[in-house]
Amino acid sequence: MARFLHLSDLHVVPEGQLVSSQLDTARLLRLAIDTLTTRLDAIGPVDAVLVTGDISDDGSTESYEIARRDLMRLGHRLLVVPGNHDGRETFRAAFSDLPEMRPTGLIDWIADIGDTRVIGLDTLIEGKGGGVLRDESLALLSEALSTAGGRQTLVALHHPPLQTGLRFMDAIGLENPNALRIVLDQHDAPVRVLAGHVHGVYHGLLGRHPVVTAPSCCSAFALDLREDAPVGFMTGPTGCALIDTGAGGVWTELPLRHGEGPFRF
């Protein structure tokens, strides 16, 4: 088994700046990591921290320096894929010391953590909100699945291969979810697809393969499925997720704000 903390959509900007004139995302990340550091005693050991993109909001070097400094405070191995707000080259430079990071090209990788294979896929189209899986990434995925040897397998990407019903987010979703499904269908490896981008928890199926998205550390989108739903974000709920790939292990959400307690029954 292996246990992963799954963070997504940090949207960090340089100190002194706010996202959309509202969110001090550098501060929100600092507070999130403070909370998680405290909670790790109760949650138990974690083998790696997986971050599915939009680590930065503006792709700036300074935003990555801030994000990286805070993520490193968790004291665990980091696995990162870029999202639509990231800049591929500044992202690569910020995390160039991670063993999976390639010096050029797409930021796709394979990492074996305990008995679990994690496959990170780069869906970033710079300058666009939507994402795509290119042939090169799908080939790497196919190769990684065929050599997985029956291991539990996680596929991590920013854009989920799901329609959430949030119209303004579905409009900037993954262009080719079927291409992903076709590759997954060709292999027997038990696969879970993990994504971000939609700033909330959505469970769904891509064919027979479960897909789940993690909440964002900084903001959320209200569940409003009307055609004229207002476009915009909420300041919460924020959170992340914990994934245990062992037999009987579960996926659970970790909210970043808690109620009072525990009180005796």
Does position 82 bind Fe ion by CB under 5 A? no
Are 156 and 49 a contacting pair, CB within 8 Å?
Answer: no
Nearest distance from residue 90's CB to Fe ion, in Å?
A: 16
Nearest distance from residue 51's CB to Fe ion, in Å?
A: 12
The helix or strand, by DSSP H or E, that contains position 35, with its residue range, turns out to be: helix 25-43
Nearest distance from residue 189's CB to Fe ion, in Å?
A: 27
Question: How far apart (Å, rounded) are the C-alpha atoms in residues 156 and 138?
Answer: 13
Q: What's phi and psi for 36, nearest 5 deg? A: -65, -35
Does position 83 bind Fe ion by CB under 5 A? yes
Report which of 174, 76, 176, 79 is spatially closest to residue 119, judged by C-alpha positions. Answer: 79
Report which of 217, 219, 221, 218 is spatially closest to residue 232, judged by C-alpha positions. Answer: 221
The site that binds Fe ion (CB under 5 A) totals a number of residues, namely 4
Binding mask 42-71 for Fe ion (x = CB under 5 A): ------------x-----------------
Minimal CB distance residue for Fe ion: 197
CA 22 from centre of chain:
22
Stretch in the footprint of Fe ion (CB under 5 A) among 81-89, 101-109, 111-119, 224-232: 81-89
Does position 90 bind Fe ion by CB under 5 A? no
Does position 173 bind Fe ion by CB under 5 A? no
Does position 152 bind Fe ion by CB under 5 A? no
Distances from the Cα of 149 to the Cαs of 79, 146, 153, 184, 185, in angstroms?
A: 21, 7, 10, 14, 16
DSSP state of 229: P
Report which of 207, 199, 222 is spatially closest to residue 155, judged by C-alpha positions. Answer: 207
Give the one residue of 117, 197, 199, 209 binding Fe ion; rule: CB under 5 A: 197
Using DSSP, how many helices (H) and how many strands (E) does the chain show? 6, 11
Nearest distance from residue 117's CB to Fe ion, in Å?
A: 25
Based on CB atoms, which residue is closest to Fe ion, 26 or 160?
Answer: 160
Based on CB atoms, which residue is closest to Fe ion, 83 or 239?
Answer: 83
Give the one residue of 8, 63, 84, 245 binding Fe ion; rule: CB under 5 A: 84
Does position 86 bind Fe ion by CB under 5 A? no
Nearest distance from residue 85's CB to Fe ion, in Å?
A: 6
Using CB under 5 A, list all residues that contact Fe ion: 54, 83-84, 197
